[in-house]
Amino acid sequence: MTIDVTEVKRRLQVFLNDQNLVNEYIRQYGPSIDPKNIKAIKESKNGALQTGDAASVGNDPIYEIFVKCPVCNKDKIPRFELRAKSQQITQNKFLVPLYEGAPPYRTVDYTLFAVTVCPRCLFASPDKKDFIHSGIAGQGENKSQIIGNILMTLQEKIGERKSVLKAQCDCETYFNRERTREAAIDSYRLAMSRGKVEAWYEQPYSLYKLGAYALRIAKITHDARLDNREHLNEALCYFEEAFKSSNCPAEDIEMQVIYTIVALNLKLQDQKKANSYIGVFSNLQATRKNEMRDNPRLTTTVIDRWNDKAKTLWEDRDRDDLFVNE
């Protein structure tokens, strides 16, 4: 059987997003696709780039700002921001961002630093708008977007959040820039603690956020070569509940939720359930077309786009490399 080297290179470019890495892969392993080899090539490049200890490779894409906690009012909490256009950002099949440095910047896995944690009360979020932060050009303060009754409940649950961490943990340094994978996972667990309070108050997108946080824990766990099925199952539960409870008012986000449920079920080897959620897209398309008879300004564009992505996953479900970047 003749090997189509051009096709192999095209597929490697999708996974590695770097022509130099593609060439290095072909040199080391030849023109064949192997998820383990793909992982090895990526890790050989990124192993020293997680915390900025390889400054010679490129400029640091992370900069620091300071925010104030809306729960306990502690100020000067460091938050790590990603410089605009410093990374080429793609997504894995679960829509978790993947980062590749754009010259002159080096590659940094921003997922590890995205969550800002108050070291006093352990309020945590990857969204700057959840904190009190400076306005444009440093003029004035922007209030937290979190509503008052949720903030009051979060004040009552400080002890619950502290139970997430080990007793001997020094919170002032644990969530510094030199963040370990364990600290990164704990930061998302603390963000989930906040998210669960929001879900209790039935805040829009709260369940979607919880699912997204669980997926980031799954990605960090996978990168550490550990079993992440527990976290994938946790994410699936949140996304299914988000769909069933109509927790996402924006149509695009709701369609993302359905697509992600399909992807997770395929990864967890429940093809019957994955196929049933692909059927949800068909039902939504039919409903929308009926609605368009009375309102011609409506379209099926968003539904069609995510349906196509889900169907592509379904068609590729037997590929060994389908979830190589999970």
Over residues 206-237, the pLDDT tens digits come to 999 999 999 999 999 999 999 999 999 999 99
What's the N-to-C CA distance of the chain in angstroms? Answer: 30
Domain identity same for 157 and 23: no
Is 103 inside a domain boundary?
yes
Does the pLDDT value for residue 63 go beyond 70?
yes
Boundary of a domain, candidates 202, 227, 246: 202
Is 225 inside a domain boundary?
no
Span 112-120, average pLDDT:
96
Is 299 inside a domain boundary?
no
Domain identity same for 7 and 102: no
- Domain of residue 153 covers 47-202
Is 177 inside a domain boundary?
yes
How far is 251 from 76, CA to CA, in rounded Å? 37
Domain identity same for 16 and 68: no
Confidence category of residue 12, pLDDT binned at 50, 70, 90: confident
Confidence category of residue 309, pLDDT binned at 50, 70, 90: very high
Confidence category of residue 48, pLDDT binned at 50, 70, 90: very low
Say what percent of the chain tops pLDDT 70: 91
Domain identity same for 38 and 63: no
- Average model confidence (pLDDT) for the chain? 90
Boundary of a domain, candidates 45, 65, 80: 45
- The predicted structure's pLDDT at residue 293: 95
- The predicted structure's pLDDT at residue 107: 93
How far is 110 from 101, CA to CA, in rounded Å? 11
- The predicted structure's pLDDT at residue 51: 42
Backbone angles phi, psi at 268, to 5 degrees: -85, 10
- The predicted structure's pLDDT at residue 2: 55
Confidence category of residue 110, pLDDT binned at 50, 70, 90: very high
Per the model's pLDDT, the better-predicted residue between 225 and 124 turns out to be 124
Is 187 inside a domain boundary?
yes
Is 246 inside a domain boundary?
no
> pTM of the prediction?
0.82
Number of separate domains in the chain? 2
For Cα atoms 191, 197, 200, give the angle at the middle one, nearest 5 degrees.
140
- The predicted structure's pLDDT at residue 53: 40
- The predicted structure's pLDDT at residue 17: 72
Structure token digits, residue 49: 């780039």
Domain identity same for 191 and 96: yes
Domain identity same for 18 and 51: no
Least confident of 33-37, 71-75, 227-231, 255-259: 33-37
Domain identity same for 13 and 135: no
Q: What is the largest CA-CA distance in the chain?
A: 68
Say what percent of the chain tops pLDDT 90: 73
Residues 6+ apart with CB under 8 A from 17: 88, 90, 98, 100
- The predicted structure's pLDDT at residue 42: 75
- The predicted structure's pLDDT at residue 207: 98
Does the pLDDT value for residue 64 go beyond 80?
yes
Q: What single-letter amino acid sits at 206? A: S
Boundary of a domain, candidates 202, 234, 251: 202
Domain identity same for 112 and 24: no
How far is 326 from 222, CA to CA, in rounded Å? 7
Is 117 inside a domain boundary?
yes
Residues 6+ apart with CB under 8 A from 190: 115, 117, 122, 123, 124, 161, 164
Domain identity same for 62 and 19: no
Does the pLDDT value for residue 52 go beyond 70?
no
Residues 6+ apart with CB under 8 A from 290: none
Backbone angles phi, psi at 32, to 5 degrees: -145, 150
Contact 87, 113 (CB under 8 A): no
Q: Is 326 exposed, middle or buried (0-12, 13-18, 19+ CB in 10 A)?
A: buried
Neighbours of 124 (CB within 10 A): 26
Is 277 inside a domain boundary?
no
Per the model's pLDDT, the better-predicted residue between 118 and 53 turns out to be 118
Domain identity same for 24 and 55: no
Per the model's pLDDT, the better-predicted residue between 113 and 51 turns out to be 113
Domain identity same for 26 and 120: no
Domain identity same for 12 and 71: no
Does the pLDDT value for residue 145 go beyond 90?
yes
- The predicted structure's pLDDT at residue 31: 82
Q: What single-letter amino acid sits at 153? A: T
- The predicted structure's pLDDT at residue 49: 39
Q: What is the DSSP letter of 269?
A: T
Structure token digits, residue 262: 């399909």
